[in-house]
A and B are shown apart, each in its own frame.
Chain A
Amino acid sequence: MKTTLTINGNTHALDIDPRTTLLDALRNHLDLTGSKKGCDHGQCGACTVIADGRRINSCLTLACMMDGVEITTVEGLGKPGDLSPLQDAFVRHDGFQCGYCTPGQICSATAMLEEARAGWPSAVTDNLEGETVSLGNGEISERMSGNLCRCAAYPNIVDAIREVSERKEVAE
């Protein structure tokens, strides 16, 4: 069936089987292989992309349901020489070993920081009614629990995210 996807600001007309997930459309039809297929069941988060500002598992989304939605993949966040703040922080903090989960971690963290800026509480937030959230290690771990890292680079991932989050707090 025919569908139109908007990825990183570019429009793509596709003719695909309705079974095609957004992840398979990105990887197999659009040559955007930054988003990774890990479990293909929404458990590992390697496929995380940002849809209209919200992080989602692209493996559990049909491509044909996503027309009219602005999709951002890791390729749309930054490029070599022009890295996004989180991409840069992951490099400096050594927030990966094999790197397979990294695009998903970075897409997830990018949208997660916006959720925190909007004041969304998490399961470990004491005061549900607060307008703002401060991201300590516990908050970051809880909010990033949908992204697994089999190399267990978690301490450095958390450090990278916390640094960017603190910089944003200072900027405000």
Chain B
Amino acid sequence: MTPFNYERASDISEAVGKPQFIAGGTNLLDLMKLGVETPDRITDITRLDMKNIEDHEGGLRIGALVSNSDLAADMRVRQTYPVLSRALLSGASGQLRNMATTGGNLLQRTRCYYFQDKSSPCNKREPGSGCSAIGGVTRLHAILGASEHCIATHPSDMAVAMQALDALVEVEGKDGSRRIALSDFYRLPEDRPDRETVLEYGELITAVVLPPAPTGKQTYRKVRDRASYAFALVSVAGIVSMQDGKIAQVALAFGGVAPRPWRDLEFEAALVGRAPTRETFDAATDILLRDASGQGGNDFKIPLLRRTLRAVLTELCEE
């Protein structure tokens, strides 16, 4: 690790405007040890009052410092937002979930092995240096939303479930607070893969707001190389409600396939009002995958996503 100055913030206003926050630290310290992140000053925000899960506007307001473990185990989340509990429990390990926070999980870096290897050129680590993943080992890489500059995937499971739940991110900045829809929170890499979110310098995530839970069945399915403690090859967060044998409402978000949690409203619209048949699923999935492209090593993700989605929809559409 390169040397840094450590300071601890005692309230939110003291933290706002600082260049690098640390809370759980599980991603930041990992990257600092690799020399990928080299902050010269870090601000410890772990003592700030952002650790509660509150009933809020018919939904929940989750403080940014609520640990992934506490959020997954909260009985309101287990009963009302099971897709979120399931997603959280499928991510990382018991030790990491105890440290990792809600805000930090959202802000973990979109990353790949080349990003973490300082001997490889990487546009995310050093803009303009090139992408070593393209033409390299690409098993974990994106099939949607990538650019010629970066094909890394966002590894969060939690954020995929939150995307399906239409979560809002509450942030505090120099000019006050604002709420950002999670669907607008992440940027696509385009030609600036080093910029992953729309957060302005010094803005602090204070909470995530979940709207009232949608009706219908919820599930989270994650397909990966190991049974536990591995990133998703493909994951699906799904919420479906049925009426009179037809799909009434859907929300579907995908992990492991794009530089951000992926959601496609045109694809969802192609499911609504239709009978839950294989033809319906396949025609809609054609829309979802219309711009999908593999890099060789990850080509398998295209059929894997189609099949995983078919299994999820079959499960959720059962009345």
Contact = CB atoms under 8 A, between A and B. Distances in A.
A55 B75 contact: no
Contacts of A121: 72-73, 78, 85, 89
B95 A141 contact: no
Interface in B91-109: 92-96, 98-99
B98 A54 contact: yes
B33 interface: yes
A26 B114 CA distance: 32
Question: Chain A at the B interface: mostly helix, strand, loop or mixed?
Answer: loop
A42 B24 CA distance: 12
Interface residues of B, number: 34
Contacts of A45: 93, 95
Interface residues on A, range: 35 or more
B99 A60 contact: yes
A48 B95 contact: yes
A40 B46 contact: no
A142 B44 CA distance: 31
A146 B79 CA distance: 26
Nearest to A41: B30
Interface stretch (B3-11, B126-134, B179-187, B276-284): B3-11
Interface of B: 1, 3-6, 22, 25-26, 29-30, 33, 44, 46, 69, 72-73, 75, 78-79, 82, 85-86, 89-90, 92-96, 98-99, 227-229
28 contacts: A17-B3, A18-B5, A18-B6, A19-B1, A41-B30, A41-B33, A42-B96, A54-B69, A55-B94, A55-B95, A60-B29, A60-B99, A61-B25, A62-B22, A65-B22, A65-B25, A65-B44, A65-B46, A108-B94, A112-B94, A121-B73, A123-B86, A128-B78, A128-B86, A129-B78, A142-B228, A146-B92, A146-B96
4 A-B pairs with least C-beta separation = A146-B93, A145-B228, A18-B6, A145-B229
